[in-house]
Amino acid sequence: MSNDYIVKDIALADFGRKELNIAETEMPGLMALRKEYGEDKPLKGARIVGSLHMTIQTAVLIETLVELGADVRWASCNIFSTQDHAAAAIAQSGVPVFAIKGQSLEEHWDYLDRSFMFPEGANMILDDGGDATLYVLLGARMEAGEDVLAVPTSEEEEVIKAQIKKRMAETPGWFAKTRDAIKGVSEETTTGVHRLYDLHKKGQLPFPAINVNDSVTKSKFDNKYGCKESLVDGIRRATDTMMAGKVAVVMGYGDVGKGSAASLSGAGARVIVTEVDPICALQAAMDGYQVTTLEDVVATADIFVTTTGNKDVIRIEHMREMKDMAIVGNIGHFDNEIQVASLKNHKWTNIKEQVDMIEMPNGNRLILLSEGRLLNLGNATGHPSFVMSASFTNQVLAQMELWLKGEEYQPGVYILPKHLDEKVARLHLDRIGVKLSKLDKEQADYIGVSTEGPFKPEHYRY
């Protein structure tokens, strides 16, 4: 084992390995890809930088990429989401990993930098939220004397730029060289995908990107059914609060909002939804939720969860109106959904890791989860393995597509073809005992599809 890693405690590796072994039994998509491609090693030569929550499920993804021939280096994409035993198991397997639960922002960007340090240089990125892509592209622009990429928050912006300047001083020209060597990026989440489309629109995306989030077997499963299990898990582990009977406000009714509202409602909470999009608002209402504005309910609700991927959704004026011991958390990608920075000069009492009590000027206290960072990964262990298997099977297929056929793609943002999306779903049916019906030729002709699929046109919305 090399010592090219930073983890909390390498002695946790055995525990990590035991949980990894269990996770493998719940990740049939990834295990099927190992069986199908393990011998051919289609990712041989790929040097993949991974920037994605360093959990047990991600460990199974990493070992799948390695089994398919890739060299991999890994950092987490969030300061609170690492599972230290998973990181230890990966380090012990010889894969360089740089991730500690509760790392500082400075460490976060230093660890991301380290994950790029292949002796021969990185040539692929696997991203979640776009930090690895941003690091290279913003760095290359700063090297060239331009500096015009949007970054998440002002506090973070300073830290990112300091890390970029450090690398520029140590290795002049490194960013441009790395940017030119990257064959492509596969992006996991809605927020990262927004960044990629934005970069492409501005003519600032120099390589092809695969939007994994918008595979149906990703966003309609991980974002929805994943949050349905992991949101309440996070709130319970953080607070042990009784969910039944409480009034919970879910801000946003996209895929994550739908799963989050279902999670809270399944636990017996009375759920209220806020939305800006009339289609999603109508969906929420017809799913049985009250839909109103945050201002209407802010003084009376017990639990507040942002799911929008937007910024400044819960603002300081809202938090000032909340009742004593209201619980406030976010399950979207970045912490700027809640104006946490505006609470900095209030009295904070740390209850335990990733749980703080904050005293407001009127004497009311708020319970803030994971300092406003995504609470299902900060306060619990994220989504279960089975749903992550679907997401990560898409990730591996995207990496293979970009590595093997990257030259056929112009810079831009692409989604995987529908037959691969259907393949990902198919790989997960046996594990839960699903039997598919079969179309005969006449039926297939009648509805205009092939008997083997794809079964839906591109515009179908599921």
Residues at the binding site for NAD(+) are 189-191, 223, 252-259, 275, 310, 331-333, 376, 383
Size of the site for ligand NAI (CB under 6 A): 31
Closest residue to ligand NAI, based on beta-carbon distance:
254
Helix (H) or strand (E) segment spanning residue 210: strand 208-211
Strand partners, 271: 248
Q: What is the DSSP string of 37-73?
A: HTTT-TTTT-EEEEES---HHHHHHHHHHHHTT-EEE
Annotation says 339 is catalytic: no
Binding residue positions: 55, 128, 188-191, 218, 222-223, 252-259, 275, 310, 331-333, 376, 383
Tokens of 273: 């939804």
How far apart are CB 415 and ligand NAI at their closest, in Å? Answer: 14
Asked if 223 interacts with ligand NAI (CB under 6 A), we say: yes
The residue assigned the tokens 């297929």 is: 397
434/156 Cα distance (integer angstroms): 46
1/11 Cα distance (integer angstroms): 13
Among 275, 302, 335, 421, binds ligand NAI (CB under 6 A): 275
Cis peptide before 206 (omega within 30 of 0): no
237/66 Cα distance (integer angstroms): 33
Catalytic residue among 51, 57, 76, 389: 76
**Binding-residue pattern over the window 360 to 389 for ligand NAI, x denoting contact by CB under 6 A:** --------------x-x------x------
Annotation says 385 is catalytic: no
Asked if 276 interacts with ligand NAI (CB under 6 A), we say: yes
Asked if 354 interacts with ligand NAI (CB under 6 A), we say: no
Which three-class secondary structure string do you get for 426-450?
Answer: HCCCHHHCCCCCCCCHHHHHHHCCC
Tokens of 372: 């406003």
**Binding-residue pattern over the window 316 to 345 for ligand NAI, x denoting contact by CB under 6 A:** ---------------xxx------------
How far apart are CB 352 and ligand NAI at their closest, in Å? Answer: 20
Q: Which stretch binds ligand NAI (CB under 6 A): 270-278, 283-291, 358-366, 412-420?
A: 270-278
How far apart are CB 353 and ligand NAI at their closest, in Å? Answer: 18
Window 232-251: residues binding ligand NAI (CB under 6 A): 251
Catalytic residue among 187, 211, 220, 227: 227
Q: Which stretch binds ligand NAI (CB under 6 A): 27-35, 131-139, 150-158, 216-224?
A: 216-224
Window 109-128: residues binding ligand NAI (CB under 6 A): none
Which 3 state secondary structure label does DSSP give 327?
A: strand
How far apart are CB 254 and ligand NAI at their closest, in Å? Answer: 2
Annotation says 399 is catalytic: no
Asked if 253 interacts with ligand NAI (CB under 6 A), we say: yes
For ligand NAI, the closer CB: 312 or 445:
312
Binding residue positions for substrate: 55, 128, 188, 218, 222
167/163 Cα distance (integer angstroms): 6
Asked if 282 interacts with ligand NAI (CB under 6 A), we say: no
The candidate with the shortest Cα–Cα distance to 14, out of 92, 73, 66, is 92
The candidate with the shortest Cα–Cα distance to 323, out of 344, 305, 301, 306, is 301
Quickly count helices (H) and strands (E) in the chain: 19, 15
Asked if 277 interacts with ligand NAI (CB under 6 A), we say: yes
Catalytic residue among 218, 220, 228, 246: 218
Asked if 189 interacts with ligand NAI (CB under 6 A), we say: yes
Give the number of C-alpha atoms closer than 13 A to the C-alpha of residue 389, restricted to the C-beta side: 25
Sign of the Cα pseudo-torsion (30, 34, 35, 40, in order): positive
Annotation says 277 is catalytic: no
Phi, psi of 306 (to 5 degrees): -90, 140
What is the identity of the amino acid at 285?
A
241/334 Cα distance (integer angstroms): 25
Positions that interact with ligand NAI (CB under 6 A): 189-191, 219, 222-223, 226-227, 251-257, 274-277, 280, 307-310, 313, 331-333, 374, 376, 383
Question: What positions carry a catalytic annotation?
Answer: 53, 76, 81, 128, 188, 213, 218, 222-223, 227, 333, 383, 391, 395
